């Protein structure tokens, strides 16, 4: 594991206890992902379901409840996240990287991942999906794409700070769709939605990002903001305030696909 990957894992480990309480966005997206799964699977489904990047198990629990006869596996690379799963579900959970799944070839019927792929290389993750899915196996993935946190990026640029040094880089929808194609995954539907969260102040806005472990930023050697820079950034963001508060937008992409029957 490289140092960047280790830092991200540690970030999620630290966020594990408070994750469920602060992850309202994640729950909204997960509910959308689960709705997609319900559209494709009957309630009597008895196969193997994988929740890749399961966090504290919000999606995993919903899937197990709706598909009681299925074998549902929750997988996450942050061990402290997995400890938040209900005790009955912990024995079938796995600590692992979604780019290196510890699963046999063609062992999964349906692959689910909600807001985890933004932390990995999409082609590597897609190739692992193709490997572990059975022929014609299905998947639903939700991830973040370009222009996520665009308000923060704009304010950083306004005060002369490089946004790429303070905000995670997000891929384009086209990049993700290309990764699926190269991994022999046939896209059925692709939908993008912008979800805006509202915050009383800049501190709570930043806390909402940190609270779900998303405080790892590129450029680990980036110099901290000076008091003057921070004041300028706060003033720039305050200019965006509405009656609802300070906005923070997420561009969420949900893709439904399946493994091509002829894929090796």
Interval 34-76: pLDDT, tens: 999 999 999 999 999 999 998 888 899 999 999 999 999 999 8
Helix (H, G, I), strand (E, B) or coil at 219: coil
Largest Cα separation within the chain, whole Å, is: 60
Model-level pTM greater than 0.75?
yes
* pLDDT at residue 204, rounded to an integer: 86
Which of 39, 55, 175 has the alpha carbon at shortest distance from 110? 39
Task: Return d(Cα 66, Cα 95) in angstroms, integer.
Answer: 24
Distances (CA, A) of 115 to 58, 62, 124: 12, 16, 16
Which of 85, 23, 66, 57 has the alpha carbon at shortest distance from 212? 23
Indicate whether 16 pLDDT > 70: no
Q: Which residue has the higher pLDDT, 205 or 166?
A: 205
Which of 179, 176, 92, 174 has the alpha carbon at shortest distance from 130? 179
Interval 93-124: pLDDT, tens: 888 999 999 999 999 999 999 999 988 899 99
Q: 60, exposed or middle or buried, with CB in 10 Å at 0-12, 13-18, 19+? A: buried
* pLDDT at residue 104, rounded to an integer: 97
Indicate whether 3 pLDDT > 70: no
* pLDDT at residue 211, rounded to an integer: 53
Indicate whether 129 pLDDT > 50: yes
- Is residue 39 within 8 Å of residue 67, measured between CB atoms? no
Which of 40, 112, 37 has the alpha carbon at shortest distance from 73? 112
Strands 48-52, 71-76: pairing is parallel
What integer is the mean pLDDT of 139-151? 94
User: Which tokens go with 31?
Assistant: 């509910």
Q: Is 219 left (phi over 0), alpha (psi -120 to 50) or beta?
A: left
What integer is the mean pLDDT of 232-257? 95
Indicate whether 219 pLDDT > 90: no
Q: Which residues on neighbouring strands pair with residue 58, listed in sequence order?
A: none
Q: Within 13 Å and on the Cβ side, how many CA atoms surround 150?
A: 12
Task: Return d(Cα 44, Cα 47) in angstroms, integer.
Answer: 9
Q: Which residues on neighbouring strands pair with residue 138, listed in sequence order?
A: 110, 258
């Amino acid at each position: 594991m490289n140092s960047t990957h280790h830092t991200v894992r540690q970030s999620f480990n630290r966020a594990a206890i408070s994750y469920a309480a602060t992850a309202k966005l994640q729950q909204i997206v997960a509910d959308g992902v689960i709705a997609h799964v319900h559209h494709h699977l009957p309630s009597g489904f008895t196969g193997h379901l994988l929740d890749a990047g399961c966090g504290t198990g919000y999606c995993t629990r919903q899937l197990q409840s709706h598909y009681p006869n299925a074998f549902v596996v929750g997988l996450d690379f942050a061990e402290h996240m997995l400890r938040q799963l209900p005790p009955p579900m912990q024995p079938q959970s796995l600590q692992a990287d979604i780019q290196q799944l510890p699963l046999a070839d063609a062992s999964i019927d349906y692959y689910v991942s909600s807001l985890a792929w933004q932390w990995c290389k999409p082609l590597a993750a897609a190739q692992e999906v193709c490997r572990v899915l059975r022929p014609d196996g299905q998947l639903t993935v939700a991830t973040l794409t370009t222009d996520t946190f665009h308000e923060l990026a704009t304010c950083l640029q306004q005060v002369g700070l490089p946004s790429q040094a303070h905000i995670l880089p997000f891929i384009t929808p086209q990049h993700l769709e290309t990764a699926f194609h190269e991994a022999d995954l046939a896209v059925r539907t692709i939908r993008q939605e912008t979800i805006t969260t509202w915050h009383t102040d800049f501190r709570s806005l930043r806390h909402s990002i940190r609270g779900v472990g998303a405080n790892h930023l590129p450029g680990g050697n980036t110099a901290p903001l000076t008091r003057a820079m921070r004041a300028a950034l706060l003033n720039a963001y305050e200019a965006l305030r509405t009656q609802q508060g300070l906005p923070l937008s997420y561009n969420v992409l949900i893709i439904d696909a399946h493994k091509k029957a002829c894929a090796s």
